[in-house]
Structure 1
Amino acid sequence: MTTMRAVVLDAPGPVANLHIRDLSIPVPAPGWVRITVKAFGLNRSELHTRLGFAGPAVTYPRVLGIEATGVIDDDPSGRFARGQQVMTLMGGMGRTFDGGYAQYTCVPVHQVIPFHSDLDWATLGAIPEMLQTAHGSLTIGLDVQAAQSLLVRGGTSSVGLAAAVLAKRQGLTVLSTTRSPAKADALRAAGVDHVLIDDGAVAPQVRSVLPEGVDAALELVGTPTLPDTLRATRVHGVVCFTGMLSNQWTVKDFYPIDYIPRGVRLTAYSGDAGDLPVDVLQQYLDDVEAGRTVVPIDRVFSLDQIREAHALMESGQAHGKLVVLLD
């Protein structure tokens, strides 16, 4: 076989701009490996690229996908054996070079994370970017500690659900938001202690539970809700800006003294494969396999359903990770 099926974005635009085509199977350059993709998760980063928000670094046509899960098909360096289970993410995937929306993808060897698991490929495909973002936000971004309180703004997103699972495993009290009361059960299933219905003013609800505010807050919605999230956080507490579910990134006419409440600390997180250590990934997989942790998956699609999957992601109606499973 010399060709593979891949999802190609010819130019920014609607889901109709996503096309399944037969492409030549890529050949790994020196220092790169080729992965047989078994599954991949959908991410809003790919939605942003499709809509044209990713900036001039992206060239077209492009195979999207900032993550992939599968097995090593060819590693010229000999570092990984053929058939080794691996995950890969970020590093320019789906932007500066072709990504994971394909039967095969080539990536730099340094952004490959090996693992061993008997979990099904759909479950495994949901994990890389979701876990890396949640873990990195809680550790690098917020440096959370046991017995602290955490607010997750955008709690029913896949990263929000994963963050709640990780935080509960570390012994935190978790408050998570959702705009839809119908999604409250999904939050409780992830272990959330206090479900808050987001009507735009969450801070008063937080302070009705914790009068001084939360110790840490993870902002996944974006700049429209960031001021209210800051107001929900205690003096010397930390807010980490990680997500942009709203598709709004910037703050117009930013004046820090007026914008940030006195004594509250604001940071941000974005990461790559290096922020997901092998032992952290393996422990998470082992916990899932043992039933101690749940991977929040909303729906699994086939490659032929990629437009339907992107439309659901864009609608904001998903209750967890959307995954594409390859044959």
Structure 2
Amino acid sequence: MSEPTSPAGEPSPRTMRAIVVSETGGTDKLVATDLPLPPLRPDWVRIKVRAFGVNESEVTTRKGLSGPDVTYPRVPGIECAGVVAEAPAGSGLTSGQQVATMMGGMGRSYDGAYAEYVLVPASQVIPFTSDLPWETLGALPEMVQTAYGSLSTGLDLRPGQSLLIRGGTSTVGLTAAAIAKDLGATVLSTTRRPDRADMLREAGVDHPVVDHGEIAGSVREIFPDGVDAALELVGAGHLHDTLRAVRVHGTLCFTGALADQWTIPDFSPLGFIPNGVRLTAYGGAATDLSADVLDHQLRAIADGRLKVSVAKIYHGLESVREAQADLESGAYPGKHVVVLD
């Protein structure tokens, strides 16, 4: 095999900088380290990372709470945007091509995007062409995939329908609101902080709803019969109340648990699910986000029809500690993005 080359045509380095978690704990466990370049594997693609989002799941991995599928030492990072450094023959990918990737065990069962290079299966690499800045592109893969998949696969949302998003100031919530408005839906979205209602309106939300623990009554003041669709991002502990905001023959999709409650003790459908309301779920994978869908979202962003909520931009791998600390603080709503200059 010939020596691998970089997107610029220069020989690729044999080592790279990466953030490694060798033992779990606080942000001090995110250690910048020199590692060998990820060795090539059949049907895998080596990507030069240009930007990546920082996510709650990576904080969970750093703390050692991700479950038995995560082993250490581990390079975290479940998503990134970058360019192809080397791709297998027949993949349809070329050196220097812009690509995005996310999830699929990335940063959990194999090393992820907190690095100068990442190696991922070709099946979860999405090519695109865009003039948007890397700090915008790096914010998109996980939250666009999750939001779009929830609205399409989970809810089959249609133009003209009403959508309730519980957990509206989360990155997925803000993205879902923007995508739903672009589709032509009427969007209600929750926040626990009244001072963030204007931020929701700027994201395209028609009706901000302040969440004091119960929201079904407030939602039915706006839509007396209930909403057509609801996206649950806060967790199982709020699911019963969110279901009560949905109309008969409407649908609720359970996608996230920002409050870290994923299960319902002693669950009995009778009495928990209102008569005639449909309950679905969405977990998703990179393969659920097609190149055509990503291209549509990128063009909507470039045209100003879709707003990307970026909380803060960080530069260089050494800034990951600050980014995770800011994410945990909750002081900056929106996506935290690290750009590798």
Unaligned runs of 5+ residues in structure 1 are: none
Matched, 1:267 2:267: no
The alpha carbon displacement at 1:225 in A equals: 1.5
Question: What is the CA-CA distance between 1:317 and the residue it aligns to?
Answer: 2.8
Pairwise CA distance, 1:56: 0.6
Please give the secondary structure, in 2, of the residue aligned with 1:300.
strand
- 1:53 equivalent in structure 2: 65
| Cross-structure match for 2:177 | 164
Q: How does 1:108-187 map to 2 (within 5 A)?
A: 108-187=121-200
> Which whole-Å deviations, capped at 9, do the CAs of 1:264-293 have from their partners, x for residues lacking one?
111110111111111110111111112221
Partner residue in 2 for 1:104: 117
CA contact (8 A) 1:186 1:319 kept: no
Paired with 1:297 and 1:37, the residues of 2 have a C-alpha distance of: 18
- Give 1:76's aligned residue: 88
Per the alignment, residue 17 of structure 2 pairs with 5
C-alpha distance in 2, partners of 1:75/1:311?
35
Counterpart in the other structure of 2:224: 211
Verify: 1:307 aligned to 2:314, yes or no: no
- Of all paired residues, the percent bearing the same amino acid is 57
For the 8 Å contact 2:182–2:305, the answer to whether it is kept is no
The residue number in structure 2 matching 1:326 is 340
Q: Does structure 1 conserve the Cα–Cα contact (< 8 Å) formed by 2:243 and 2:274?
A: yes
Q: Which amino acid aligns with 1:6?
A: A
Partners in 2 of 1:224 and 1:310 — Cα distance? Answer: 25
Please state how far the C-alpha of 1:183 moved relative to its aligned partner: 1.5
Q: Does the 8 Å CA contact 1:151/1:216 hold for their aligned counterparts?
A: yes
After superposing the two structures, state which structure 1 stretch, 302-311 or 57-66, moved more. 302-311
The code of the aligned residue for 2:340 comes to L
SS of 1:292's equivalent in the other structure is coil
How much has 1:12 moved relative to structure 2? Answer: 2.7
Structure 2: how far apart are the matches of 1:146 and 1:159?
A: 20
State the SS of the aligned residue for 2:236: coil
CA contact (8 A) 1:28 1:107 kept: no
Please list every run of at least 4 consecutive aligned residues from structure 1 whose deviation after the TM superposition is greater than 4 angstroms.
none
Q: 2:105 aligns with which of 89, 92, 96?
A: 92
CA drift at 1:102: 0.5
Q: Secondary structure at the match of 1:299?
A: strand
Q: Which moved more, 1:11-20 or 1:38-47?
A: 11-20
Deviation at 1:152, TM superposition (A): 0.3
1:326 CA drift (Å):
0.7
When structure 1 is superposed on structure 2, of 286-295 and 201-210 the one drifting more is 286-295
2:45 pairs with 1:33: yes
Deviation at 1:226, TM superposition (A): 1.2
Q: Matched residues in 1 for 2:327 and 2:126: separation?
A: 26
The question of 1:253 aligning with 2:266 is answered yes
**C-alpha distance in 1 between matches for 2:113 and 2:337:** 12
One-letter amino acid of the structure 2 residue matched with residue 324 of structure 1: V
Contact 2:21 2:72 in 1 (8 A): yes
Deviations 1:135-175 (A, max 9, x none): 00000000111111000001011110110011111111100
2:6 aligned residue: none
Q: Secondary structure at the match of 1:138?
A: helix
Give the deviation of 1:181 after TM superposition: 1.7
Which AA in structure 2 matches 1:117? S
Instruction: State TM-score, norm by structure 1.
Output: 0.97
The answer (yes or no) to whether the contact 1:157–1:318 under 8 Å persists in 2 is no
Secondary structure of 1:63's counterpart equals coil
- Structure 2 Cα separation of the partners of residues 267 and 287 of structure 1: 28
Q: Is residue 225 of structure 1 aligned with residue 241 of structure 2? A: no
Deviations 1:53-102 (A, max 9, x none): 32111110100011111000011325311100000011110011001111
Mapped partners of 2:112, 2:36: distance in 1: 14
Please give the alpha-carbon distance, in whole angstroms, between the structure 2 residues aligned to 1:317 and 1:214: 30
Q: Residues 30-72 of structure 1: CA distance to partner in whole angstroms, max 9, x if unpaired? A: 1101000000011222122223232111110100011111000
- 3-state SS, counterpart of residue 45 of structure 2: strand
Q: Distance in 2 between matches of 1:260 and 1:14?
A: 39
Determine the C-alpha separation between the residues in 1 that align with 2:59 and 2:264. Answer: 21
Q: Secondary structure at the residue paired with 1:224? A: helix
**CA apart distance, 1:227:** 1.4
Q: Secondary structure, in 3 states, of the residue corresponding to 1:283?
A: helix
Instruction: With the length of structure 2 as denominator, give the TM-score of the two structures.
Output: 0.93
Question: What is the letter of the counterpart of residue 318 of structure 2?
Answer: D
